[in-house]
Amino acid sequence: MNNTMPAAPATDDVAAHLGESSPGTHLERPDNPIMACEDVDIFYGDFKAVSNVSLQFGFNEITALIGPSGCGKSTVLRSLNRMNDLIEGARVEGTITFRGEEIYGKKVDPIEVRRRIGMVFQKANPFPKSIYDNVAYGPRVSGMKVESMDELVESSLRAAALWDEVKDKLKDSGLGLSGGQQQRLCIARTIAVRPDVILMDEPCSSLDPIATLRIEDLMHELKQDFSIVIVTHNMQQAARVADRTAFFTALSAEGSGDRTGVLVEYAPTRKIFDDPADQRTEDYVSGRFG
C-alpha cells in the first residue's frame, strides 16, 4: 500500500513541461474507484515510456484512455493487470491499487491479478480451439468451481452477445468466426472467469463500423457488472461509451528523441469534449492535433 517510490519531484524534466496543470489533482474523481494509479512511471529498460500518471477508475464505469500514438495509453493499460511483466525490461514505479491493495506488492501473485482484471486485445486472439473450449479455458485453468460448464459457457456467450450466432456450432474452431465475432468471443472468454475489471486495448481497431457498434452496445451492457477501461484512438468512440476520459500526450524529453507519455487531463467525458481545461486537450478532441 505504501508508495514504492516517492512522488516524482516537480523539477522532473517532463513534469516541468506540464506547468500548472498537474494531472488529475483538480478534477472530479470517481467517488467509488475500483482501481487507482498514483504517481506511476513506467519504463522499458532505461526508456521512460510514461511519467507521473495519477488516475482513478470508477466502479462499474467505463473509463477511456485517449491520445495520439506513442502517448503511453496502452502502456498504462497493460500495467493495470501486470501484462507488462511479460515484456523483458518493463518496470513500473509508483502505486497501482485494486480495491486499495497494491497490485505490484511483493506478496502479490500476478496470475491472481490477471484473474480479477481481465484483458481484451487490439487484435482478436482466439485460441486455435473450439468456441466452447475458448470460453471454458479460463475457468478450467484457474480451477474455478463451476457447477455446469455448459451453463457458464452459454451465459458468457450470451453476455458477449454471441450466443445466438454460435449456439449451433460450439464445437467449431473459434478461428472460423468473423473478426467481430472473434472479438466478442474474446470478450466472452474474459467474462467467463468473472473478473471485476475488463481492460480493452483498442478492441475495435481492426473491425468494421457495424461490428464496432455491436461491441460498443455490448460495453454499455457489460457496465452493469464490470468496470471497464478502454484504450481507443477513436475519439467518437470514447465520447459514445465512456463515463470518464483521460487524455494523454507525448512529450519529448529535452536533449533526447525519447518521447514520454503524460496524462494531460482527466475528467467526465462530457467535460473533456465540451469544456476541456487544457488547450492541448481541446486541440486534440477538436481534431486540430494528433
Partner 1 sequence: MSITTTRGTAAAALSSPTGSRHFKAKSRPGERVIIWALRFAALLTVATTVGIVVSLVVPAVEFFTEINVGDFLFGDRWAPRFAEASFGVLPLITATAWTTGISLLVAVPLGLGAAIYLSEYARPRVRKVLKPVLEVLAGIPTVVYGLFALTFVQSVVFKQWLELPTGAFSVLAAGLVMGVMIVPTIASISEDALSAVPMSLRQGSAALGANRMQTSLKIVVPAAVSGIVAAVVLGVSRAIGETMIVAMAAGQQARMVAGPLEQGQTMTGFMASAALGDSRVGSLEYNTLFAVGLLLFALTLVVNMISIQIVRRLRKAY
Q: Which three three-digit cell numbers place residue 282?
A: 481541446
203 binds partner 1 per the rule CB under 8 A = no
User: Which of 118, 180, 261, 268 forms a contact with partner 1 (CB under 8 A)?
Assistant: 118
User: Which of 86, 148, 171, 254 forms a contact with partner 1 (CB under 8 A)?
Assistant: 86
Distance CA 121, CA 42 (A): 20
59 binds partner 1 per the rule CB under 8 A = no
129 binds partner 1 per the rule CB under 8 A = yes
* Residue 115 Cα to chain centre, angstroms: 15
Least spacing, CB of residue 125 vs partner 1, in Å: 4
* Residues written for the chain: 290
Of the candidates 36, 52, 58, 78, the one whose C-alpha atom is nearest the C-alpha of residue 263 is 52
User: Which of 8, 17, 70, 121 forms a contact with partner 1 (CB under 8 A)?
Assistant: 121
Which lies closer to partner 1 via its Cβ, residue 18 or residue 200? 200
Per-residue binding string, partner 1, 145-174, x by CB under 8 A, is: ----------------------------x-
- To the nearest 10°, the Cα dihedral for 137, 62, 70, 85? -40
* DSSP annotation string for 161-203: T-HHHHTT-TTSBGGGS-HHHHHHHHHHHHHHT--SEEEEEST
User: Whose grid coordinates read 502505486?
Assistant: 95
28 binds partner 1 per the rule CB under 8 A = no
Q: Which three three-digit cell numbers place residue 169?
A: 456450432
Which lies closer to partner 1 via its Cβ, residue 125 or residue 279? 125
240 binds partner 1 per the rule CB under 8 A = no
* Residue 45 Cα to chain centre, angstroms: 22
Asked whether the beta carbons of 191 and 160 are under 8 A apart, the reply is yes
Those residues with Cβ within 8 angstroms of residue 2's Cβ, 6 or more apart along the chain or in another chain: 95, 102
Least spacing, CB of residue 134 vs partner 1, in Å: 9
In the chain, the amino acid numbered 60 is N
141 binds partner 1 per the rule CB under 8 A = yes
User: Which of 33, 138, 180, 276 forms a contact with partner 1 (CB under 8 A)?
Assistant: 138
Evaluated on CA atoms 76, 77, 83, 88, the torsion sign reads: negative
Distance CA 287, CA 277 (A): 16
User: Which of 66, 77, 83, 239 forms a contact with partner 1 (CB under 8 A)?
Assistant: 83
User: Which of 54, 75, 156, 190 forms a contact with partner 1 (CB under 8 A)?
Assistant: 190
Least spacing, CB of residue 129 vs partner 1, in Å: 7
188 binds partner 1 per the rule CB under 8 A = no
Q: Which residues are at the interface with partner 1 (CB under 8 A)?
A: 81, 83, 86, 88, 111-112, 114-115, 118-119, 121, 123, 125-129, 137-138, 141-142, 173, 175, 186, 189-190, 193
